């Protein structure tokens, strides 16, 4: 489900954006990706919405980061750190460490979306494979 990303060319100057701007963009890219993944699933709109929400909440994003962290380059890890370190107080409902990981993940997604869409697609494909392997067991 990453063909839409693979068709994109790098755009803009992601290195000129701050971590929170990249996280803001990355959050929307991640949600669009999840919506596209569930769009082929026959279900009621409410159920589709709940499925997507379960994937875009901070805990799910932090878990996604944990799954791909070992495959990240040093530059990519640096953007995760920049996003994680920019977290303020976070939300009361979410542990600050989880919120930081989620923000780091979103920062990476936003940066890759602008800098290297093909690399982003590779990482998203890896996440889908990991999820598929988990559901097969």
Say what the pLDDT of residue 53 is: 86
% of the chain at pLDDT higher than 70: 93
Say whether 27 is catalytic: yes
Say what the pLDDT of residue 92 is: 65
11 is a domain residue: no
- Full-model pTM: 0.89
The CB density around residue 125, as the number of other CB atoms within 10 Å, is 14
30 is a domain residue: yes
82 is a domain residue: yes
Say what the pLDDT of residue 14 is: 84
Say what the pLDDT of residue 137 is: 63
| Encoded tokens for 136 | 């097969």
The CA distance from 46 to 62, in Å, is 24
**Marked catalytic residue, from 27, 40, 47, 133:** 27
Residue 92 is part of which domain span? 16-136
User: For the chain, how many structural domains are there in total?
Assistant: 1
7 is a domain residue: no
83 is a domain residue: yes
CATH number at residue 123: 1.10.1520.10
128 is a domain residue: yes
10 is a domain residue: no
62 is a domain residue: yes
Residues of the chain under the 50 pLDDT cut:
none
Q: What is the 3-state secondary structure (H, E, C) of 71-108?
A: HCCHHHHHHHHHHHHCCCCCCCCCCHHHHHHHHHHHHH
Q: For 46-80, what is each residue's pLDDT tens digit?
A: 988 888 888 899 999 999 999 999 999 999 999 99
């Amino acid at each position: 489900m990453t063909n839409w990303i693979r068709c994109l060319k790098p755009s803009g100057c992601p290195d000129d954006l701050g971590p929170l701007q990249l996280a803001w963009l990355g959050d929307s890219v991640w949600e669009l990706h999840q919506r596209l993944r569930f769009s082929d699933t026959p279900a009621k709109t409410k159920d589709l919405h709940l499925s997507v929400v379960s994937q875009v909440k901070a805990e799910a994003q932090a878990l996604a980061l944990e799954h791909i962290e070992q495959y990240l380059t040093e530059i990519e890890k640096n953007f995760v750190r920049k996003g994680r370190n920019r977290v303020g107080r976070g939300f009361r409902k979410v542990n600050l460490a989880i919120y930081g990981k989620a923000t780091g993940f979103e920062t990476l997604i936003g940066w890759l979306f602008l800098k290297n869409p093909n690399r982003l697609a590779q990482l998203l494909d890896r996440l889908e494979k990991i999820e598929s392997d988990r559901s097969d067991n």
